């Protein structure tokens, strides 16, 4: 019999991901604070769990897809949380982007009840969730990874077991967000210089794409900057959260993240100016305003 899946957090990402599990044939029990999201999943064939605890009681594998560390801690470890409903042998899989320190805390608390935890954040955005092509980076025990792999395969394509250590999936996602954030900043500075120097920005992008400065960010976000297309995509406020996680991780592990800190502040400034819901390629707006350029 197919494992019964609990799914908590039915937002932009969680809704399409849980729909793929239903389509693949898994029995799915859902929970979210947002009633219409639960109703939509129930209409598609899921069961309404009612609470995180009740979801755990009715399922074999519990997945969470929540905004940030405080919500994951609340849903898994809080009152009426997943931890109150679990049995020995169950697996709890957090697919949110959160602090690796929280992932370790959650794994340790669940281990006391003989429940294994995986941290399995994703990359690929809403499009990847809708098309079931997410990249999934997983930390936790190999045996649990093998057990949950068919469930991951219903939602994603590039599924990598990073290591046994809880939190290693989240560390990988943090690394991803550092590279993406700093590269957007670099592309924004280069294209702003080209623009202010009166050089054709599209030609600059084209020339750089054939050389050592080539990157997916230069390709996609460079084009967005040229097109002035800052509709999300991935929102500035979410990237700010992720670089906040990076900075806390750097502090915890003794790694000064100088450039990440700068980009984190740039994102914070954009949020303070009301640009939190722009795509993160909107970092270009910040660089341009320093250079005295209007939109
Ligand atoms: P979202 O805000 O759309 O969805 C979060 C859902 O969690 C909402 O439906 C909300 O009602 C629910 N929720 C919040 N607190 C809850 C609680 N205490 N109990 C039950 N439900 C609760 O967010 P999203 O865009 O789906 O992102 C989810 C996670 O995935 C985040 O960590 C985000 O950083 C990460 N992520 C997002 C993207 C993207 O492009 N949107 C890409 C990769 C990773």
What mean pLDDT comes out for the span 144-151?
A: 98
Strands (E), 133-195: 134-139, 156-163
- The per-residue pLDDT for 124 is 86
Among the atoms of ligand 1, which is closest to the Cα of residue 241?
34
pLDDT interval class at 294 (50, 70, 90): confident
Structure tokens at 288: 């341009």
68 CA distance to ligand 1 middle (Å): 8
71 CA distance to ligand 1 middle (Å): 9
pLDDT interval class at 1 (50, 70, 90): low
Task: Name the percent of the chain lying above pLDDT 70.
Answer: 100
Task: Name the percent of the chain lying above pLDDT 90.
Answer: 95
pLDDT digits (tens, 9 = 90+) for 185-204: 999 999 999 999 999 999 99
- For the domain spanning 171-290, the CATH number is 1.10.1040.10
Alpha-carbon distance of 97 to 86, in angstroms, equals: 23
> In 154-282, which ranges are continuous DSSP H helix?
168-196, 201-209, 216-227, 236-253, 258-272
Question: Would you say the CB of residue 168 lies under 6 angstroms from ligand 1?
Answer: no
Alpha-carbon distance of 38 to 33, in angstroms, equals: 8
pLDDT interval class at 18 (50, 70, 90): very high
pLDDT digits (tens, 9 = 90+) for 89-145: 999 999 999 999 899 999 999 999 999 999 999 998 888 999 999 999 999 999 999
Distance, CA of 130 to chain centre? 14
Instruction: Please answer whether residues 31 and 82 qualify as being in contact, where contact means their C-beta atoms are separated by less than 8 angstroms.
Output: no
Residue 62 has pLDDT above 70, yes or no: yes
2 CA distance to ligand 1 middle (Å): 26
Residues 6+ apart with CB under 8 A from 157: 132, 133, 134, 135
Instruction: Please answer whether residues 20 and 133 qualify as being in contact, where contact means their C-beta atoms are separated by less than 8 angstroms.
Output: no
5-164, CATH topology level: Rossmann fold (3.40.50)
């Amino acid at each position: 019999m197919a494992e019964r899946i609990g799914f908590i957090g039915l937002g932009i990402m969680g809704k399409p991901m849980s729909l793929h599990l239903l389509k693949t044939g898994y029995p799915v029990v859902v929970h979210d604070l947002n009633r219409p999201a639960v109703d939509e999943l129930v209409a598609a064939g899921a069961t309404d769990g009612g609470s995180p605890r009740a979801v755990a009681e009715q399922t074999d594998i519990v997945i969470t897809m929540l905004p940030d560390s405080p919500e994951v801690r609340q849903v898994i470890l809080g009152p009426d949380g997943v931890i109150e409903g679990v049995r020995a042998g169950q697996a709890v899989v957090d697919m949110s982007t959160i602090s690796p320190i929280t992932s370790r805390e959650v794994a340790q608390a669940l281990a006391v009840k003989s429940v294994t935890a995986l941290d399995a954040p994703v990359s690929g955005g809403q499009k990847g969730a809708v098309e079931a092509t997410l990249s999934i980076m997983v930390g936790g025990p190999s045996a649990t990874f093998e057990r949950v792999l068919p469930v991951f395969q219903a939602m994603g394509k590039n599924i990598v077991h990073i290591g046994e250590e809880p939190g290693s999936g989240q560390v990988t996602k943090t690394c991803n967000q550092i590279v993406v954030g700093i590269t957007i900043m670099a592309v924004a500075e280069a294209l702003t210089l080209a623009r202010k120097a009166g050089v054709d920005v599209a030609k600059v992008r084209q020339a750089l794409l054939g050389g050592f400065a080539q990157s997916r960010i230069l390709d996609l976000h460079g084009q967005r900057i040229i097109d002035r297309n800052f509709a999300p995509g991935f929102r500035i406020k979410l990237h700010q959260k992720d670089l906040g996680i990076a900075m806390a991780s750097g502090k915890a592990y003794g790694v000064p993240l100088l450039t990440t800190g700068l980009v984190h502040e740039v994102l914070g400034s954009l949020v303070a100016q009301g640009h939190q819901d722009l795509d993160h390629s909107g970092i270009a707006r910040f660089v341009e305003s320093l250079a005295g350029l209007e939109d």
